[in-house]
Structure 1
Amino acid sequence: MSRRKTERQLNLVICLLSTRRHLTAQEIRATVQGYAEADTESAFKRMFERDKRELRDSGIPIQVGTGDAFSGEEGYRISRSDYELPEIELLPDEAVVLGLAARAWRHASLGEAAANALFKLRSAGVPVDTEAAPGLTPAMRTDEPAFGPVWQAIRDRRAISFDYRKPGENGAQRREVEPWGIVNLRGHWYVVGHDRLRDARRVFRLGRMRGGVTVDRTGPDVVVPEGVDLRSVVSQQSAVPERTATLRVRTEAAHDLRRLALRVVPGERDSTGDGWDTLTLPYTSTTGLVRKVASHGSRAVVVEPEPVRAAMADHLAGVVEGTIAAEEADTAEGPDAADAPARGPRSADQLRRLLMLVPYALGRDVRVPEVARHFGLSEKQVVSDLSLLWMCGLPGYTPGDLIDVDLDAARETGEIIIANADTLAQPLRLTADEAASLVVGLSLLEALPEAQGIEGGALKRVAEKLRTAAGSAVSDLADAVQVRVEVDEQVALTQRRCADALSGGQRLHLRYLSGYLDQVTERDVDPMGLVVQDGQTFLEGYCHLRGDVRLFRLDRVLELTVLPFAAQVPEGVVRRDLSAGVLQRSERDALVTLALEPSARWVTEDYVCESVTEMTDGEARATLRTPAPAWVARLALSLGREGRVVSPAALAKDVRAEAERALEHYRTVRNRTALVETTSSPE
C-alpha cells in the first residue's frame, strides 16, 4: 500500500468519524485530501469504491444513509459505537491464555485475523502475553483451499456450492449446501449442513472439494437448526469395529497392528530370537484390514477368516501384476515437481497499524522502542508510521486541523508525542473473524489436557469477555467452528507425564515407534515443549540418539520413563520453527512418484505432495518428498491395484519383490482359486 493511498484512507476515516451526518460522495471528494488526484468523475468513483471496500475489509464499519435530503443521494459516515472497541480488562492469567489462543492460528489461514485481534487489544493497553507458557504450542492448520470461503459463508450465513469427489469415485458431483458449521476431527476439516439437492443432512470433508467454492450472495440467510451438535454429527461418520481376524506377525514387526490387537499370543522363537506371534485384531471392513496388513508385506499374514485370506491373496497379486504391467508398458517418466507459485509474506497494513498506534500512544509516556516491542514492529517502521501520521487530520487541513507529531523527538530521543488526534483516540473494534479466531483458539485449549493446569477458570472468563465485547454475531460464528480433540486414556496419561517432566526439568526415556518405519527405538530425550497440531500432541525435545531436536507423536510412545536426573539441552539448541508444520521436509529427501487410480486419490488428501498431475486416462501422478522411501513402499503395498510406484525404478522393484514374498503365505488360497476357475470355465 503506497503512502499516498494510506494517507488518503486515513483522512477518510477521520472525516467520517468526525461528521454527525452522512456525507455524499461529492462532499467527500471536495473535502478529503487525496481525492483531488482523480482527474475524472469515473476515476474518483473507482478510487472511492475501492477505498470503501478496503476499509470495510479492515473492519471499519462505514454506514450508508441519506446524504442529501432533497436529491435522496446516498451518504456515508462511521458510527463511533460501531467503530470503537469496548473496554476489556484482562487479569494476568487471562492474558496468558489469550496469547496461547492466538498462537493456535499462527501458521494457519486465520493467523492474520488472530494477529490483528491482538494488535487491536494491545492498542487498548490490554496486556496480551504471546510468549507465556512456552512449553505448550497449540497449532491449527487450514491447508484446504476451501477453508476460507466456507468460513466466510458460515460467518455471513450464506449457502455454498462446490464439486465433491467421494472416496472411490472417479468424477466429482455438484453439491449445493446450507452450511451450519465446520469441525476439525483427527486433523481434517469437515463442513456440516443441509444438502439442498438431496434434501438431507450431510457431512463433507473440505479436502475432497474440487475446484473453487462458490458462495451464494443472494437468497435468504441460512438458518441453523436449534440444538444441532456438530461434533456428534461428524463423529458418527466413524464406524465401530464389529468383527475380528486372526493374524500371525513376525517378532518385533507390525507394531501398529500389535497396538490395535485385542490379544497377542507370543509364539516359539528360534535360536536367533525370531518367530511368529498370533494377534486377534478387530476390524470394520475387509478392505481396510487388507490394506493395513498388506503394508507389512511378508511380515504379517491373515490366518482367518477365509474370505479375508482370499482378499489378501488377490490384493497382493494386484501389486505384482501392476508392477509388471508398468515395467512393460509405462515408459513415461514421473512428472517433475511443479514449481508452486511464490507466495511472499504479506506486509502489515499501515493504515491498520496507525489506527492502533494512536490510541496506544495518546496519553501515555511511551517511546519508540517500547511501541516497537509492544506491537512486534521495528523501530524504523514506527518512525515511518509517525512521519505519515502528521500529514493527516480533519478536513480543512490547516495546522490546527492536522495531527501533531514531534518527529524530531521520535528520531533523536525515541519519545513519542502525539497531539490533536482525539478523533482516533479509541481503538478499533474487533471484526467477526478476529474475535472468533480467538474464541475458537480458546475452545481448542479447553479440550487439551496440557492446558488444564491453567487455574481459576481463565479460559472461560476470557472467552466470555471476548464474546461480550464482540457481540452475538461473533458468538454464533465461534460456536459454528469446533475442534474435536480425541485422546485415549493411555495417550492422556503420557501427555500428563510429559508435562510434569517438562515443568520439573527432568529427562525422559522413550520406547518409540517410528512414523516412517516399522521399527521401535530407545530414546533419551530432554523435553523442550509440547506441540498440539490437528488433534495430535507431540513432545518436542533434544534426542540424544540423533543428537538433534526431534518431535515425538505421543500416540507412538510405547513406554515412557521419567529419569531421576535433570534434562540438559545443549547450549545453542533451540526449538524448531514450525511455520511450515510439524512435518519437516528437506531438499535432501527422496522424491517418489506414485500412479494413483481415482479410488486412491485419498493419498493426495492425506499426505503433502510436491505435485499432482492429472493424466489423460483418469490416473493421477503424485510426487512425494520423504526421508524414508521404505515408508512409501509400505504405502504402495497397501494400495494394491489402486496405485503403484512409478519412480524410482529400484523402489518399484522392491515393492514387487516384497509382494511376491508375501504371496507365498497365501499359496493354498491362490491354488484353490485357480482350480475353481479352471474347472468352471466353458469348453
Structure 2
Amino acid sequence: MSRRKTERQLNLVICLLSTRRHLTAQEIRATVYGYAEAESESAFKRMFERDKRELRDNGIPIQVGTGDAVSGEEGYRISRTDYELPEIELLPDEALVLGLAARAWRYASLGEAAANALFKLRSAGVPVDGEAAPGLTPAMRTDEPAFGPVWQAVRDRRPIRFDYRKPGQAEVERREIEPWGIVNLRGHWYVAGHDRVRGSRRVFRLGRIRGEVSVLRTGPGVVVPEGVDLRSVVAGHRAEPERAATVRVRTGAAHELRRGALRVVAGEREGSDGWDTLTLPYTDTPDLVRRVASFGSRAAVVEPQDARAAIRAHLAATAERQGAEPDGGGAPPGGAPSAPARGPRSADQLRRLLMLVPYALGRDVRVPEVAAHFGLSEKQVVSDLSLLWMCGLPGYTPGDLIDVDLDAARETGEIIIGNAEALAQPLRLTADEAASLVVGLSLLEALPEAEGLEGSALKRVGEKLRSAAGAAVASLADAVQVRVETDEGVAETQRRCADALESGQRLHLRYLSGYRDQVTERDVDPMGLVVQDGHRFLEGYCHLRGDVRLFRLDRVLDLVVLPYAAEVPEGVGRRDLSSGVLQRSERDVLVTLDLEPSARWVTEDYVCESVAERSGGGVRATLRTPVPEWVLRLVLRLGPECRVVAPAALAEEAAAEAGRALAHYTLDGEGAGARSAR
C-alpha cells in the first residue's frame, strides 16, 4: 500500500506542476494514475483529501482556485513560483558557514531537516559542504522528549499544555502556555511564553516537563508580543548572588569553589596540608550548603552561623541516610523497552524522490552516495528508482514516463534519470529545514573563526536564507535561539587554541578535572574545537593519557603554546560525538541511586543508563561513570535526598566522608573549620 500511495502522490505532484489551469477533483480522478482504485466517490474524496494534506505537510504548496468556470467548482494546481527553491548564490565563505550551520544539528532531532536542506541546496547548484572545516564541530543536542512537540507548537503558533515539576517540588503542576519561542541557554532548552493560568510571562525548562506535551489545535493561535527579546527573558530567569560566605578549603582541593570565589587568602601550611580562606558569593543558604558539602571534609563553612547550622544538619542526615535499609520503593530498573520498528513511510519516500530527481539530473550521482545520505540500503535506493520509473505525466505512455536506467543502477551504481523536466527544480526549503540552518548560524558566533565573519558571511548567508524561505520561516528562526555564554578569559583561551590548531603547534595545559577535583599538567596536540551542550571544548591527543580527550575551555587554568609541531599518532581520529561529549565505556562503574522528588534534576542533568519511578514521586537512577569519586561528591551534595543502592562500598564511603566533614562542626562552634579561622 505504501508504494502505491507514493506512486499516486508523485503522479499527482507531476500533474499539478504541469497544468496551466486549476484541475477539478473529478478531472484529477480521471487523469492521475492511482485514483481509479477508489471504489466509490466517497472513497476517492477521502483518498484525495489525505493526499492533499500530506503533500502540504511535506512543504508542497497546492493552490485552490476555480476549476470549472460554469459550475464554480474548486480546482487545484501547484504554482512553480511557490514550489521551486529560489535561486541562491553563495560566496565561498558563505558556503562554508552554511555547511557548519547544518553540522550543528547532526546529532539532534533536526539533523535530518538540516541535512535535507543541504541536499536541496546542492540540487540547485549551491556549493555547500557539510564536511567543510573539519577542525570545527558546532553541535547542539535535543535530548529532551518535549523538544519536538514544543518546536512544532512554536512553528505553528499554537498553545501547548503539559505537566511540569519545579526543582525541589514533589508534585507536578498542569500548565497551559502560549509559547513565544525556545532558547538554548547553558546547554539546556527553555520555552518562554504567556502562562494562561497565571496570566503572566513564564519560562520553563524542557527537561522538567513530565509526560506528553499536548499541542492545542483549536482556538486562536499564539500572538508573540512585538519587541520581545527571548534571550533576555530566559537569561533573566535566574537569580543573582546577593550574599557572601566565609569558607575554608584544604590546600589543593575544592577548585570549583576557588574559581567562584570573590577572594582567596592563603593560610599557613603544614607540609602539603593546610587551609585557605574563600569569600564565596551565594544566593540562598541551601544552595551554599550543597556546594560546600559536595567537597566533604575538604571544605567547611565558617560564616554565617545559619549556614554552619544548616550544613551540620545536612551532613548528619547524609550519614544517616546512607546507612538506612532499602525502602522497597523501586526495583532495580532494566533497560527501557525499545520502540517498535517502523516500516518505510510513503511521506519519507516521496520526499526523497522529489529531492533525488533534481539532484541527479546532469550530475554524476551514485547509488552508494544517495544511500549514505538518506541512511538507506543500496537495495532500497534501487527500489526507489524503480518506483520513479513508473511515474510521469497523465497518459503514462513511454514518452510521458520518467526514464530511469535501472540496469546501470544495479550493475554500476550510476543513477541516470531523464524525461523528468517537471521535477527538474528542487522543492523550496520547508520551515524546519530553513529554520534549522538559520538557528545553526547563531551557534557559529561562539566559534573563534566566526569572529571575522559575524558582520559579513554569517549575516549575508542568514539574510539570503530568510529571503529564499519566506517570512514564516524567518519568524520561526527568530523564535528559536541559542546562547553560548562565556567570559573574556575563555574567549581568549579559545582564540589561542584556534591559532595553535591553524599553525599545527602543541599546547601545554594546566587543567582542572571536574570529575576528580584535581589539577593536572597536560601536553596536547590540538585536533579541533567543539561547541556542545552550552560549553566550548578543545579536542586533542593527550600525551598524559595516551588518547584523544575533550578539554572544557572554562577549566583550562593556564595555556602555553609550545614551540614545536603537534604530532597526532597515525591512525588516531576524532571522537564520535553522536552520543554526546561524555564517552562511556564497559570499564565504567555502574552506580544506582534512590533519588527523592527534589533530586530528580539529576536525571535531567546527567546521562543515566536507566530511570525507574518509585513510590512518592522519587526515582531509582543508574549512572555509568569512570570516576566513582565524582558520584561520591554528588551524593554528599544531595544529602538526605539521595541514597546509594549500589555498590555497597560507595554507600559506606559516603557515610564515612559525611562523618569526617561533620567533625568540622561541633555544637559549640569550635570545630576545625572554626578554629582555623582564628
TM-score over 0.5 for the pair: yes
Alpha carbons 1:526, 1:541 under 8 Å: kept: yes
Deviation at 1:58, TM superposition (A): 2.0
Q: Give SS of 1:624's match.
A: strand
Match of 2:609 in 1: 610
- Mapped to 1, the partners of 2:621 and 2:502 lie a distance apart of 43
Match of 1:193 in 2: 193
Alpha carbons 1:313, 1:670 under 8 Å: kept: no
Match of 1:335 in 2: 332
- Mapped to 1, the partners of 2:448 and 2:59 lie a distance apart of 35
Match of 1:366 in 2: 364
Deviation at 1:417, TM superposition (A): 4.7
Alpha carbons 1:448, 1:485 under 8 Å: kept: no
Match of 1:95 in 2: 95
Q: Give SS of 2:666's match.
A: helix
Alpha carbons 2:537, 2:550 under 8 Å: kept: yes
**Is residue 2:168 matched to residue 1:171?**
no
- Mapped to 2, the partners of 1:345 and 1:509 lie a distance apart of 49
Q: Give SS of 1:99's match.
A: helix
Match of 1:541 in 2: 540
Alignment of structure 1 residues 267-416 onto 2, 5 Å: 267-271=267-271, 273-324=272-323, 326-327=324-325, 330=327, 335-342=332-339, 349-362=348-361, 364=362, 366-368=364-366, 372=370, 384-408=383-407
Match of 1:676 in 2: none
**Is residue 2:557 matched to residue 1:553?**
no
Q: Using the TM superposition, name which of 11-20 and 301-310 deviates more.
A: 11-20
Alignment of structure 1 residues 177-256 onto 2, 5 Å: 177-256=177-256
Residues 603-661 of structure 1 show CA distances to partners (whole Å, capped at 9, x for unaligned) of 12111222222222332212212122221111111112222212222211110000001
Residues 543-571 of structure 1 show CA distances to partners (whole Å, capped at 9, x for unaligned) of 11111111111111111111111111110
- Mapped to 2, the partners of 1:134 and 1:376 lie a distance apart of 21
Cα distance change of structure 1 residues 493 and 73 upon mapping to structure 2, 3 Å threshold: same
Match of 1:677 in 2: none
Deviation at 1:64, TM superposition (A): 3.8
Q: Using the TM superposition, name which of 605-614 and 189-198 deviates more.
A: 605-614
One-letter identity of the residue aligned with 2:85 = L
Match of 1:675 in 2: none
One-letter identity of the residue aligned with 1:366 = D
**Is residue 2:459 matched to residue 1:468?**
no
One-letter identity of the residue aligned with 1:249 = V
Alignment of structure 1 residues 420-459 onto 2, 5 Å: 420-454=419-453, 457-459=456-458
Cα distance change of structure 1 residues 225 and 507 upon mapping to structure 2, 3 Å threshold: same
Structure 2 portions without partners, runs of 5+: 672-678
Deviation at 1:464, TM superposition (A): 0.5
Match of 1:576 in 2: 575
Deviation at 1:334, TM superposition (A): 5.2
One-letter identity of the residue aligned with 2:539 = E
Structure 1 portions without partners, runs of 5+: 673-683
- Mapped to 1, the partners of 2:593 and 2:550 lie a distance apart of 27
Match of 2:30 in 1: 30
Alignment of structure 1 residues 97-112 onto 2, 5 Å: 97-112=97-112
- Mapped to 1, the partners of 2:515 and 2:383 lie a distance apart of 50
Q: Using the TM superposition, name which of 441-450 and 90-99 deviates more.
A: 441-450
Q: Give SS of 1:622's match.
A: strand
Alpha carbons 2:171, 2:617 under 8 Å: kept: no
Deviation at 1:670, TM superposition (A): 7.7
Match of 1:680 in 2: none
Match of 1:487 in 2: 486
Return the TM-score normalized by structure 2: 0.93
Q: Using the TM superposition, name which of 245-254 and 38-47 deviates more.
A: 38-47
Q: Give SS of 2:525's match.
A: strand
Q: Using the TM superposition, name which of 616-625 and 169-178 deviates more.
A: 616-625
One-letter identity of the residue aligned with 1:653 = E
Deviation at 1:315, TM superposition (A): 0.7
Deviation at 1:97, TM superposition (A): 0.4
Match of 1:136 in 2: 136
Q: Give SS of 1:667's match.
A: coil
Residues 229-261 of structure 1 show CA distances to partners (whole Å, capped at 9, x for unaligned) of 111111112222222111111111101111111
Residues 22-44 of structure 1 show CA distances to partners (whole Å, capped at 9, x for unaligned) of 43444333322233444555655
- Mapped to 2, the partners of 1:414 and 1:159 lie a distance apart of 48
- Mapped to 1, the partners of 2:194 and 2:329 lie a distance apart of 44
Return the TM-score normalized by structure 1: 0.92
Cα distance change of structure 1 residues 415 and 209 upon mapping to structure 2, 3 Å threshold: closer
Deviation at 1:411, TM superposition (A): 5.6
Match of 1:262 in 2: 262
Q: Give SS of 1:668's match.
A: coil
One-letter identity of the residue aligned with 2:432 = D
Alpha carbons 2:446, 2:531 under 8 Å: kept: no
Alignment of structure 1 residues 14-163 onto 2, 5 Å: 14-39=14-39, 44-45=44-45, 47-67=47-67, 74-163=74-163
- Mapped to 1, the partners of 2:391 and 2:245 lie a distance apart of 76
One-letter identity of the residue aligned with 1:585 = R
Deviation at 1:509, TM superposition (A): 1.2
Cα distance change of structure 1 residues 240 and 332 upon mapping to structure 2, 3 Å threshold: closer
% identical aligned pairs:
79
- Mapped to 1, the partners of 2:523 and 2:42 lie a distance apart of 70
Aligned CA RMSD, in angstroms, stands at 2.6
Alpha carbons 1:266, 1:276 under 8 Å: kept: yes
Alpha carbons 2:165, 2:173 under 8 Å: kept: yes
Cα distance change of structure 1 residues 375 and 270 upon mapping to structure 2, 3 Å threshold: closer
One-letter identity of the residue aligned with 1:603 = V
Cα distance change of structure 1 residues 414 and 581 upon mapping to structure 2, 3 Å threshold: closer
One-letter identity of the residue aligned with 1:632 = V
